[in-house]
Each structure stands twice: as structure tokens, then as C-alpha cells.
Chains A and B, each alone.
Chain A
Amino acid sequence: MTDRLVRLDDDALGAALRDLATAVDWPASGAIASDGPDIATRVRVRLQDAPVARARAPWRPARRAIILALAALLALAAVAGAVGLGLPGLRIFQGGSPVSPPPTLAPSASIPTGPPGSTLGLGRLTTLADLDAAAGRQITLPSDPLLGPPDAAYVDPLKGDQVALVWAPRPDLPPTLDPGVGLVLMSFDGLIEDEYFGKFIDSGAVLEPADVGSMDGYWFSGAPHIFFYEGNGGGFVDDDRRWVGQALVWSDGTTTYRIETSLPEADAIRIATSLE
């Protein structure tokens, strides 16, 4: 039989392959499988569990003011870029705040239940054992002895498989603006072509260049700032905007990292360099 296949011309061999399609043991999407919901159901559940995932029609009234405010800052962003305020995949915006700041910077007495960081919209919770596979790349953990292993890990496929490692507060690790979070270390591919992340610096925030080992970075302090990212074509994923306290952002040339912490800058830099 194989000999006969070898002698077939292109059309006949193509027909044999089409016939073969009916004989392949294709995986089931779940629609006809008996072992759980189909892919459509699982996707719907994941979308409902991740408010950041909402697709948006452009120029909905509720977003208009935000987009206009950010658009007004594009000139400032260009200036920022001209003076080097940017890292691969990251744009830093400076100017007035497009939304009201949080009512208080003091940590709330109420600590959310669930894994640390579960209310921050960081993506899908995963285990350290599965982290590399979920992110599609090898994730290096900081070796700084202050931290130890993270208490929770998240991967967000909607943001280029952004990884977030979260440590719960401890006596030696004060809480951030989120009372259930002591430190967040995020990383994302800084070379993604169709989207970039942005930091919006409120007028009260202080931005300083920082040397992170051999890498360039920035230290954000003072008033809280907003973190957001923008998809191609101006599709701001503004559900993800949230107030962030002190933060260190740096890049190794391919990956951009961000640490949110209430620790001093020197401690954040020490933790950052422990990734090298």
C-alpha cells in the first residue's frame, strides 16, 4: 500500500490526506467528551473570572474621558521617550492623574481572603512547579534570602504571558497598598510587538533612574501611580489600572521587570539583582 501512495501525483496524494482526516484520532474539545465542560465553557468561565479580559468597543462613553486624558499626554510621553524614560515594552507617561487617587494610602484593616494577590487581576494562579510551562519560558526566582519562595504565582496569557510572583506580608516584609500583599515581582517580554505597558506618573510621584546591577531601571516613590497597558490600536485595558506605591522597574534587554514593595529602594535593588 505504501508503494502505491508513493506513486500518487499531488492531487491524489492530497485526496489521500483529506481521506486521512476522517481517520485521525483528533482530541475532543469537550463538546462530545464526557469528562468535563467544553472549551467554550471553560473560556467563558475564565473570562468571567478575569475582569481584565473584557474586550472593549472603542470610544465607549465611560472610557472616553480616560482615553482623551491619556491621548493628551502623548506629547509628554514623546518627551519622556526623548529623554530616555522608557524601557523595552514600557512607556512612561507623566502628567496629571486621569482618575482620582485612592482615598488613603494606609493599608486597610481588611485583608482579602484567598492567595496573596488574588484580587489584583494578575492572571491565572499557577504553581511554581508549573510556572515555566504556563509562561512558556524559564522563570528565574530571586535568590535574596529575605524573600524565600513566593507565596503565589500568576500567569496572564492576555498580556504576553506576563508572570507575577507574590509574597504575603510578614514582619520583615511590610504590606503594599494592598494589605494582603507584601511584594510583587512581575516580568513580561519587553519585545512584544503589538502592545506595551505604561506607567502613568501622578504629579506627586517621584521618578529616579536606578542602577540595577548592570541594568538600567527606574525607582518610583512618593505619591502612588497607575499602572496600565495599551493594546495595539489604542485599546486601553483600563480595568487593569490600579494604584501602585513604590516600585522598581528595570530591563535586562529582553524582559522587563517590576517590583512593587514598601521596602526601601536599596532592598528592592538587592532583590532585583538576586535574579541575575
Chain B
Amino acid sequence: MSWRAVHIEDADLITRARAGDVAAYEGIVRRYQDVALRTAYLVCPETDADDAVQDAFLKAFAALPRFRDGSPLRPWLLRIVANEARNRRRSAGRRQGLAMRAADADPSPAVDPGPEGAVMAAETRSELLAALGSLRDEDREVLGARFLLDLSEAETAETLGLPRGTVKSRTSRALGRLREALAATAGADR
């Protein structure tokens, strides 16, 4: 399915949802619920992520009349999700923390560990996740959006409510601070 076909289908669902077709809106939610939940997971405690996404989709439904026709739906939805997740993070405070976990390591990965960027050893994944989780919120959010969610700079900007130029500079600075966090971990292990 081409991007254009997806886009048209979004537009059709939006039109129907605006007219009160809840089933059409359910289709929109189902299409974006996974990336929405991952977005919330990057921002707020895991225990709040599901509720944040549900409430965000309810708010988005009410806000559909204000959605600008022809603009991409995904970042518009993700911005509402990110805002809702931030509200819940503020409510939860830092007590619960943000603990992204690595899935159980596959004992027999299909791809051999190779050069940088290829499949990493489970231990390295955990260290990288821990370093990412130790960053301040704005750094973790921009790296999460750009690389874990694989959003474009433009999508990241809209999702996080930032100017596009800020995304580029903040990503660079956040990568630097990620290196510092990794270096601190490596120093502690020696």
C-alpha cells in the first residue's frame, strides 16, 4: 500500500469520524494505537501509558473538527498523546521513574552481532537502554522519537511541539549526553 493510498484512507476515515461515525474513528485508532502507545511509553510511566493513550484518542476525537485537512494525521495524533503523557508524568512525579526494558534476549539471533548498528548483544542493549533512561526528559523524548519510533525530523518536531531546527540541535546534544552516560557506566564497570 502506497503512502498516498494510506493518506487518502486516513482522510476518508477522518471525514466519517467527524460526522460521528465511531466505527470509522475506531479504524483510525487501530491504525495508530501501537505507535501511540510507544510514544506514551517514552514519556510517562508504563503504568500510565495505556490510559494516557486512551484519553488522548478521546481528546483527538473531540478535536477532529480542528484537524487541518491534508496534513499528516500521525504526528497530529502523537502530539496529543505526548501532551497527555506529559500531564501524567507531571502527576506521577519522578517516583515511579521511567524504566524501559529490553525484551528477553533471543538465545539464537538470526543475525550475528556485527559492526555498529547491527544487532547488539543483550548486555549492550540493556546498557544503552539504561543510559537512555537516565537522560533528562527532553533528551530522552527527542532521541526516542527520532530513533526508537523512527519519526522524521518534521514528525518529531510536531509530536514534541518543537521547531524543526530545535529537533536537529537537541538531537545532537542529546546524543552527546547519551555518550556521557554510557562513558560513566563504562568507567563504573572498570
Contacts and interface: CB of A to CB of B under 8 A. Distances in A.
Interface of A: 1-6, 8, 10, 12-21, 23-31, 38-44, 46-48, 53-58, 60, 132-133, 136-137, 157-158, 231-233, 235, 237
25 contacts: A5-B124, A6-B179, A6-B182, A13-B175, A13-B179, A16-B120, A17-B132, A17-B148, A19-B119, A20-B125, A23-B105, A23-B122, A24-B129, A27-B46, A27-B49, A38-B33, A40-B33, A42-B54, A44-B25, A55-B64, A58-B65, A136-B87, A233-B65, A233-B66, A235-B62
A24 B175 contact: no
B55 A157 contact: yes
B18 A56 contact: yes
Contacts of B79: none
Contact of A19 (B49, B117, B122, B149): B117
A39 B50 contact: yes
B178 interface: yes
Contacts of B72: none
A44 B30 CA distance: 10
Contact of B66 (A53, A137, A158, A231): A231
A25 B127 CA distance: 14
A235 B121 CA distance: 52
Given A5-B127, A5-B128, A25 B65 contact: no
A117 B71 CA distance: 40
A123 B17 CA distance: 20
Contacts of B61: 43, 47, 53, 55
B58 interface: yes
Interface of B: 17-20, 22-23, 25-27, 29-30, 33-34, 36-38, 41, 46, 49-50, 53-55, 57-59, 61-66, 87-88, 90-91, 100-105, 116-125, 127-129, 132, 143, 146-150, 172, 175, 178-179, 182-183, 185-186, 189
B169 to A, nearest CB: 12
Contact of B22 (A31, A48, A157): A48
A231 B175 contact: no
B65 A20 contact: no
Contacts, number: 186
Interface of A is mostly: helix
Given A56-B65, A133-B91, A43 B29 contact: yes
Contacts of A28: 37
Contacts of B116: 4, 8, 12, 15-16
Nearest to A232: B66
Contacts of B65: 55-58, 231, 233, 235
A24 B102 contact: yes
B64 A12 contact: no
Contacts of A27: 37-38, 41, 46, 49-50
B167 to A, nearest CB: 13
B46 A2 contact: no
Given A15-B116, A43-B29, A10 B172 contact: yes
A13 B22 CA distance: 42
A43 B57 contact: yes
Nearest to B189: A2
Contact of A2 (B19, B127, B129, B146): B127
What 9 pairs across the A-B complex have the smallest Cβ distances?
A15-B117, A17-B147, A40-B30, A40-B29, A157-B55, A44-B26, A1-B124, A2-B186, A25-B101
Contacts of B178: 13
A43 B175 contact: no
A43 B101 CA distance: 27
A158 B37 contact: no
B147 A21 contact: yes
B41 to A, nearest CB: 6
